[in-house]
Amino acid sequence: MKRFLAVGAALLVAAAASVLAAAPASAQAATQAATQAATQAATGRLVLYTSQPQADAQATIDAFRKAHPGVEVDFVRDGTTQLLSRLQAEFQAGAPQPDLLLIADAMAMEQLKAQKRLAAFQDAALDGVPESSYDRDRTYFGTKYITTGIIYNTKAAKRPESFKDLLAPEAKGQVVMPSPLYSGAAAIFTGTLAAQPEFGPRFLEDLAANGAVAVQGNGQVRTQVAGGQKLYGIIVDFMALNAKRDGSPVDFVFPSEGAVPVTEPVGILTTARNPVAAKAFVNFLVSAEGQRFAASQGYLPIRFDVQPPATFPARDGIRMMAPPIAEILRNDEANKRRFADLFGG
């Protein structure tokens, strides 16, 4: 009898432990379901600051509003550096305008997080989203992979395979690149290469000595290479691949040492006036629906259950460097000063 009582007690303890273990998961699921229901019913005005190209930003908003017709979205589009300068001025004036940011710069998001400007979204709908793509404290979330590689005009005598090919004699005076003083993706690119032993700060010096020039953004790089003013450029992948798809005489190279990726993170400000609509926007961007829309625009989805655009090679054929964000952030001002000294501000 004692044996049966002991066994029964053990079973009760095990059952209780199971219930207790399941309780947090059940509570979390219930909270997520409540958040999802609230965001589905989102209404009101939402203000977005973004560095996306103008047409892509408007198309993204239009797709979001099809799913959330009760939300009106206003947006400001500019380079990442300009947006952050504007936002810092608004902080100082005590009147920040955006509810959320969508920019190609995880460094900037880390800075804003350190300043306690980003709100944690613990109940974000992240099933199917790689953990490596979002902040572990859930203050910002990657929305797509955008890699920096090489664009070239198909009239060029040589197809480049490496960033180092841009230092070759045939590339002298024929290279154009975006400025990290304007573009967040360019800042991460220059910072990543500066941190790589095989490139280092000397790479930019060698580019300048070989006659490379800097313009503001990636769009100007595409225009100059497609128009034949320059034969080679450093650029984000989707701009070159979309230009090729649309008939421009260009192609894109994922360099042999690896392209430099950013995840174009989105984050909600602690001062957001419409946090419910902001959460709905975040959930849309990382959802399978939102990722399929991003792929239709020519972007590489962050989710592996969504197919890449036809313009991209297979995922396993894309080699990427790993940007050391903490080191880049630490050296960002020095890297930008060096760039300005070499290429002008």
Tell me the pLDDT tens digit for each residue of 275-318.
999 999 999 999 999 999 999 999 999 999 999 999 999 988 89
- For residue 21, give every residue at least 6 positions away whose Cβ sits within 8 Å of its Cβ, in sequence order, or none: none
Task: Read off the pLDDT band of 3 (50, 70, 90).
Answer: very low
Let me know whether 140 and 152 are in one domain: no
Q: Give 116's pLDDT tier (boundaries 50, 70, 90).
A: very high
CA 116 to chain centre: 20
Give the dihedral sign, CA 295/298/301/307. positive
- Is 103 within a domain? yes
139, 168: one domain: no
Q: Are residues 167 and 189 in the same domain?
A: yes
Q: Residue 37: inside a domain, yes or no?
A: no
Structure token pair of residue 236: 């984000």
- Provide the number of structural domains found in the chain: 2
Shared domain check, 207 and 335: yes
Q: pLDDT band at residue 23, thresholds of 50, 70 and 90?
A: low
Average of per-residue pLDDT across 312-339: 93
For residues 152-160, average pLDDT: 97
**φ, ψ at 268 (rounded to 5°):** -100, 135
Total residue length of the chain: 345
Answer yes or no: do 213 and 339 share one domain: yes
Report the percent of the chain where pLDDT is more than 90. Answer: 83
Quick: pLDDT tens for 245-275: 999 999 999 999 999 999 999 999 999 999 9
Boundaries of domain holding 165:
146-261+330-343
Q: Does 277 fall in a domain?
A: yes
Please indicate, yes or no, whether residues 253 and 280 belong to a single structural domain of this protein.
Answer: no
Q: Which of 111, 96, 50 is nearest to 285 (CA)?
A: 50
Judge whether 1 lies within some domain: no
Q: Are residues 232 and 276 in the same domain?
A: no
- Residue pair 6/12 in contact by the 8 Å Cβ criterion: no
159 and 123 assigned to the same domain: no
Are 49 and 179 members of one domain?
no
Three-state secondary-structure class, residue 76: strand
Cα–chain center distance at 299: 10
pLDDT class of 35 with cuts at 50, 70, 90: low
In a domain, 18, yes or no: no
Shared domain for 205 and 339, answered yes or no, is: yes
CATH number, residue 152: 3.40.190.10
> How many contiguous H segments (helices) and E segments (strands) does the chain have?
11, 12
Residue 19 lies in a domain: no
Is 142 a residue whose pLDDT tops 80?
A: yes
Same domain, 120 and 184: no
pTM, 2 dp = 0.82
Domain-embedded: residue 217:
yes
Q: Provide the pLDDT for residue 22.
A: 53
Pair 222, 334 in one domain: yes
Region of poorest pLDDT, from 28-32, 55-59, 160-164, 327-331: 28-32
Residue 79 falls within a domain, yes or no?
Answer: yes
